[in-house]
Amino acid sequence: MSLTERLEAYLSRIWSTPVAVSDLSRIPGGASRETYRFNARADGETRPLILRRDPPGSLIETDRNLEYLAFESFHGALPVPRPVAMEPGGAELERPFFIMERVDGGAAASPFTVLPYGDHARAIGEQFFRILGTIAGADPTNLPLAKKAERPEPDDCWRIALEHWTKVIEDDQQHPQPIVWAAIRALRRRPPPPAQAVRVVHGDYRTGNFLHDGAGKILAILDWEMVHLGDPLEDLGWAMDPLWGHFEADKVGGMLPREEALALWREASGLQVDETALAWWSLFNAVKGQAIWTSAAKEYRDGGFKDPVLAISGWYTARRHDQILAEALMRMEGLS
């Protein structure tokens, strides 16, 4: 049974009407979900949709319930696609998946390119950090996400995050990594202050994880698979990690000078940026990145070396994050 036929069977069942699926095609990029675009025609109406399906081997183990609820939480308030259906058991598609409405006419930048936003970098950057500030400013209490997401105490956010990603490295590392272990010990020795508020953390908020129209407008914030509640500075540190800088040292995310980005975030979130705390979360995010790349390398090997996205993640990005970590550790000790 083809994937098209499986989708038709599933949608026909849940919509209680015959559904014809057409133009199914996989979208490149990403290793934590297989992403497909397709059209579903039912009762004379055609709906442009996206399927996000778990691959046989996933880059990161994530909770698709939370991902779906994140779309529910922010659709309508922010440029976030409307979720349509979710099946953690896989149903007719045999692997867990969810379906959302498709946003056409947009492009996602590859993080490995230079000047991906051209003359619109400032406009995109302003929206990018305002949207992140809006996510950080939202009280999660009444959001759909709060139904499933665990809410840590403010002084536990750092510990939970660090222990989670440390365990990923412990479980998946195939070659000793002294640099990341030194960073983990440094983070444990100098914990950050408690979170000023426990908020929604997108978990992978960065250049490349949103669609833009090529004319300076962000159309959709995507890739919520690592969403959780925690310290909102976690997202800020990830968004500003040098890995996502598009080779522009004077701009975060290749979009805006750091201070301007922070000012926009502060204004939109109503929160403050404690530089000591942000330094901790920045180093943490390089550890988190290294954990993800460590898993990618393991999945690449376990999957028979067939997914080149896992290869680039487990190889190039891992080495780049070793550089970032080594530089951060030197700065921390006043050695550079």
Q: Measured from the CB atom, is 42 or 329 closer to another protein?
A: 329
Closest CA to 201 of 332, 12, 70, 17: 70
103 binds another protein (CB under 8 A): no
105 binds another protein (CB under 8 A): no
Q: Which long-range contacts (CB under 8 A, 24 or more apart) does 7-12 make?
A: 7/38, 7/40, 7/51, 7/92, 7/93, 9/92, 10/85, 10/87, 10/91, 10/92, 10/93, 11/40, 11/42, 11/85, 12/42
C-alpha to C-alpha distance for 336 and 326, rounded to whole angstroms: 10
- Using CB under 8 A, count the residues that bind another protein: 60
- The single residue among 17, 113, 272, 276 that binds another protein, judged by CB under 8 A, is 113
On whether the CB atoms of residues 323 and 202 are closer than 8 A, the answer is no
322 binds another protein (CB under 8 A): yes
Provide the 10 A C-beta neighbour count for residue 322. Answer: 18
Applying the rule CB under 8 A, the residues between 187 and 246 that interact with another protein are 189, 246
314 binds another protein (CB under 8 A): yes
Q: Measured from the CB atom, is 11 or 135 closer to another protein?
A: 11
User: Both tokens of residue 72?
Assistant: 């529910």
- The single residue among 9, 24, 268, 278 that binds another protein, judged by CB under 8 A, is 24
142 binds another protein (CB under 8 A): no
Minimum distance, C-beta of residue 115 to another protein, in the bound complex (Å):
5
177 binds another protein (CB under 8 A): yes
On whether the CB atoms of residues 253 and 172 are closer than 8 A, the answer is no
Query: Which stretch in 136-144, 173-181, 263-271, 274-282 sits in contact with another protein by CB under 8 A?
Result: 173-181
C-alpha to C-alpha distance for 30 and 210, rounded to whole angstroms: 13
Minimum distance, C-beta of residue 174 to another protein, in the bound complex (Å):
5
On whether the CB atoms of residues 187 and 277 are closer than 8 A, the answer is no
272 binds another protein (CB under 8 A): no
C-alpha to C-alpha distance for 201 and 140, rounded to whole angstroms: 10
The residues that touch another protein, with contacts defined as CB under 8 A, are 2-4, 24-29, 36, 107, 109-110, 112-118, 174-179, 181-182, 185, 189, 246-247, 297-298, 300-301, 304-309, 311-312, 314-316, 318-320, 322-323, 325-327, 329-330, 333, 335-336
